[in-house]
């Protein structure tokens, strides 16, 4: 599946100046700007109508209606609820859930980790491993669990890492500064409060790492690094398996990057836990 935004980003560096203005106009108000008339979009980008059509054709669409149809299909997927997913399921009433789930998750993991751009991933690892930068992470009602896992590992490996509850967002923004790193997980149906918080952080100079789904959270327009993963699931509920796997990969990357520095910190971590009466086998009596 090739998303409209992905096509625009891939084509952007080679676009003529006028068409680049149209592409920028679409991305800055994505996806709603693309659903306007040719004349309205041309006015927004301060170009001619034929320029809009040339861009759409360059992106591989048969015409403006075909372009808008692709956007509408994308919007429907972005806003799909668990209830809507029920109607799309095959009848697996007699299938064993394990047999049904295994191939779905294998495909989800394979497609997600194989398709992530390696240089983008490496840039995310470098940001997360840099102990000079204050590092925070947050997410929505379900996706916050993913970022909490990231934080619980990173705080062992490097200093200055915090998990942000929604109640922490305002105080975080007050002190946010250029050089901070914020990781956000936001998947469909995108939580508007999370979107607003992440965008404000980016506007204050924070380096934003976004983990999202293939349809891309609106936060993607402001994120420095975008890491999309599959949410494919055998159930009507979007899966978090691929996002968790990506977090595990990021943690591995940080461990590899820090090397002996991480080893020394983990040693200190274990010693501090041992001093509280905890051992590898449990609590000391």
What's the rounded mean pLDDT across residues 271-275? 88
19: CB partners within 8 A, 6+ apart: 47, 51, 54, 55, 58
What is the model's pLDDT at position 283? 54
Nearest CA-CA partner of 184 in 232, 230, 151, 160: 151
- As to burial, measured by CB atoms within 10 angstroms (0-12 exposed, 13-18 middle, 19+ buried), residue 155 is middle
What's the rounded mean pLDDT across residues 63-83? 79
SS3 content of the chain, % helix, strand, coil (to 5): 60, 10, 30
What's the rounded mean pLDDT across residues 68-83? 74
State how far the alpha carbon of 192 is from the alpha carbons of 74, 90, 124, 181, 234, in Å.
18, 32, 24, 21, 27
Distance of CA 23 to the CA centre of its chain: 21
Strands 135-139 and 181-185: parallel
Task: Reply yes or no on whether the pLDDT at 204 is more than 60.
Answer: yes
What's the rounded mean pLDDT across residues 88-99? 67
Res. 285 pLDDT band, cuts 50 70 90: very low
Considering the domain 101-274, what is its CATH architecture?
3-Layer(aba) Sandwich (3.40)
CATH 3.40.50.10490 placement within the chain? 101-274
| Strand arrangement, sheet containing 135-139 | 161-163, 135-139, 181-185, 207-212, 225-228
Percent pLDDT > 90 in the chain is: 56
What is the model's pLDDT at position 88? 56
Q: Determine contact, residues 243/211, Cβ cutoff 8 Å.
A: yes
Nearest CA-CA partner of 220 in 31, 75, 66, 34: 31
Strands 161-163 and 181-185: unpaired
Q: pTM, whole model, 2 decimals?
A: 0.74
What's the rounded mean pLDDT across residues 209-237? 87
Q: Determine contact, residues 170/186, Cβ cutoff 8 Å.
A: no
pLDDT digits 0-9 by tens, 76-91 = 776 655 555 555 556 5
CATH 1.10.10.10 placement within the chain? 4-78
**How far apart are the C-alpha atoms of 114 and 256, rounded to whole Å?**
20
Lowest mean pLDDT among 74-83, 176-185, 239-248: 74-83
CATH number of 4-78: 1.10.10.10
């Amino acid at each position: 599946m090739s998303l409209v935004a992905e096509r625009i980003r891939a084509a952007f560096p080679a676009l003529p100046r006028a068409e680049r203005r149209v592409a920028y106009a679409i991305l800055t108000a994505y996806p709603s700007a693309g659903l306007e008339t040719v004349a309205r979009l041309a006015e927004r980008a301060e170009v001619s109508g034929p320029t809009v059509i040339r861009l759409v054709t360059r992106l591989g669409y048969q015409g403006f209606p075909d372009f808008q149809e692709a956007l509408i299909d994308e919007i429907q997927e972005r806003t799909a609820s668990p209830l809507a997913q029920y109607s799309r399921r095959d009848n697996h009433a007699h299938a064993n859930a394990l047999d049904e789930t295994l191939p779905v998750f294998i495909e989800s993991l394979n497609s997600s980790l194989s398709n992530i751009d390696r240089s983008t991933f490496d840039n995310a690892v470098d940001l997360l491993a840099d102990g000079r930068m204050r590092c925070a992470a947050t997410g929505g009602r379900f996706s916050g669990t993913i970022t909490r896992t990231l934080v619980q590992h990173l705080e062992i490996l490097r200093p200055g890492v915090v998990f942000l509850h929604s109640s922490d967002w305002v105080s975080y923004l007050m002190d946010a500064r250029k050089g901070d790193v914020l990781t956000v997980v936001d998947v469909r149906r995108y939580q508007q409060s999370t979107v607003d918080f992440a965008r404000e952080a980016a506007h204050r100079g924070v380096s934003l790492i976004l983990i999202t789904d293939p349809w891309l959270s609106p936060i993607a327009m402001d994120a420095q690094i975008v890491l999309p993963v599959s949410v494919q699931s055998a159930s009507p509920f979007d899966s978090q398996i691929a996002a968790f796997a990506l977090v595990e990969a990021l943690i591995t990357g940080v461990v590899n990057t820090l090397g002996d520095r991480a080893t020394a910190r983990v040693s200190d971590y274990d010693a501090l836990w041992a001093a509280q009466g905890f051992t590898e086998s449990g609590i000391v009596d």
